[in-house]
Structure 1
Amino acid sequence: MVLLMLMITADLENLTNLQPQFGCNDPDFSYMFKVKCGNCGELSQKETCVSLKETISIPRSRGIAHLFQKCKFCGRDGTVAMIEGRGQPLTHSQSQSGKYAPLMLFDCRGYEPVDFLFADGWTAESLEGTTFGNIDLSSGDFADYDEKGECPVTISNLRSTFEVVK
């Protein structure tokens, strides 16, 4: 068993609290990434999508996971389960200092998530308090204007990594 924390960062201009639309534990938010087999190292060709609201009973076990998949190369089974309660939004100060924010914790058995894909369903707040919802980050950036604060707001240079958690 390996616990991997999805860590994100970005360049936030006049924005703070970048996170999934309804918080880091949003049951409807889809996490998309590729998976790598822990046995043979084969990387999936397509992205895998997992969310907190969709669980699968693990065959020959009493456990559940958010992903159960068989490696197409070596035939080994692997699971990924999401663990709620450890995520936090990316703040403006973290962005300015280049630090990463923890988004979601994954319990990985036989598979390892890699290459997280930013998509739609994000939210952020301007430094003046305006909320920007349903942000689509699939193109790699976001730009808008905060009428209340009379300033441009942008998200750019999106980056993610998976870190081992003990």
Structure 2
Amino acid sequence: MVNYMLMITADLENLTDLQPHGGCNDPDFTFMFKVKCGNCGEISQKETCVCLKETFSVPRSKGSAHLFQKCKLCGRDGTVAMIEGKGQPLTYSQSQSGKYTPLMMFDCRGYEPVDFVFANGWKAESLEGTVFDDIDLSSGEFAEYDEKGQCPVMISNLRSTFSVVK
């Protein structure tokens, strides 16, 4: 069992608190990434989707996971379970300093998460307090105008990594 923390950063212009729409523990938010088999090293062709509200029973076990699948190359089973309460939003100051923020922790058995995909369902708040809901980051950036603050807002240069957590 290895725990991986999804860490994200981005360039935030006049925005703060970038996170999934319902917060870091949003049960409806879908995390998409590829998985690498711990046995043969095969990386999945397509992204795997996991969310907190969907759990599956693990065969030959009393436990459950948010993902259970077999490696297409070697046939080994692997699971991914999400661990709530470890994430936080990306703030403006973290963005300015280039620091990564933890978003979600994954308990992985037989798989390693790789290549997180930014998609839709994000939110952020302008430095003037305007909330931008349902931000789609699938194109790699977001640009809008904050009427209240009378300034442009932007998210760009999205980056993510998975770090091993002990």
State the percentage of identical aligned residues: 83
2:62 maps to 62
The 4+ residue runs of structure 1 with deviation greater than 3 A are none
For normalisation by structure 2, the TM-score amounts to 1.00
Matches of 2:19 and 2:40, distance apart in 1: 34
Matches of 1:29 and 1:45, distance apart in 2: 22
Q: How does 1:11-22 map to 2 (within 5 A)?
A: 11-22=11-22
Distance apart, 1:106 and its partner CA: 0.1
- Give per-residue Cα distances to partners, 1:25-83, cap 9 Å, x unaligned: 00000000000000000000011000000000000000000000101111110000000
Q: What secondary structure does 1:145 align onto?
A: strand
Distance apart, 1:150 and its partner CA: 0.4
Matched, 1:74 2:80: no
Q: How does 1:1-166 map to 2 (within 5 A)?
A: 1-166=1-166
Matches of 1:20 and 1:75, distance apart in 2: 33
Distance apart, 1:5 and its partner CA: 0.1
Matches of 1:18 and 1:34, distance apart in 2: 22
- Give per-residue Cα distances to partners, 1:92-129, cap 9 Å, x unaligned: 00000000010000000000110000000000000000
Matches of 2:160 and 2:34, distance apart in 1: 13
Q: Which amino acid aligns with 1:8?
A: I
Distance apart, 1:160 and its partner CA: 0.2
Q: What secondary structure does 1:149 align onto?
A: coil
Q: What secondary structure does 2:140 align onto?
A: coil
- C-alpha RMSD of matched pairs (Å): 0.3
Unaligned runs of 5+ in 2: none
- Give per-residue Cα distances to partners, 1:107-164, cap 9 Å, x unaligned: 0000011000000000000000000000000000000000010000000000000000
User: What is the aligned residue count?
Assistant: 166
Q: Which amino acid aligns with 1:129?
A: G
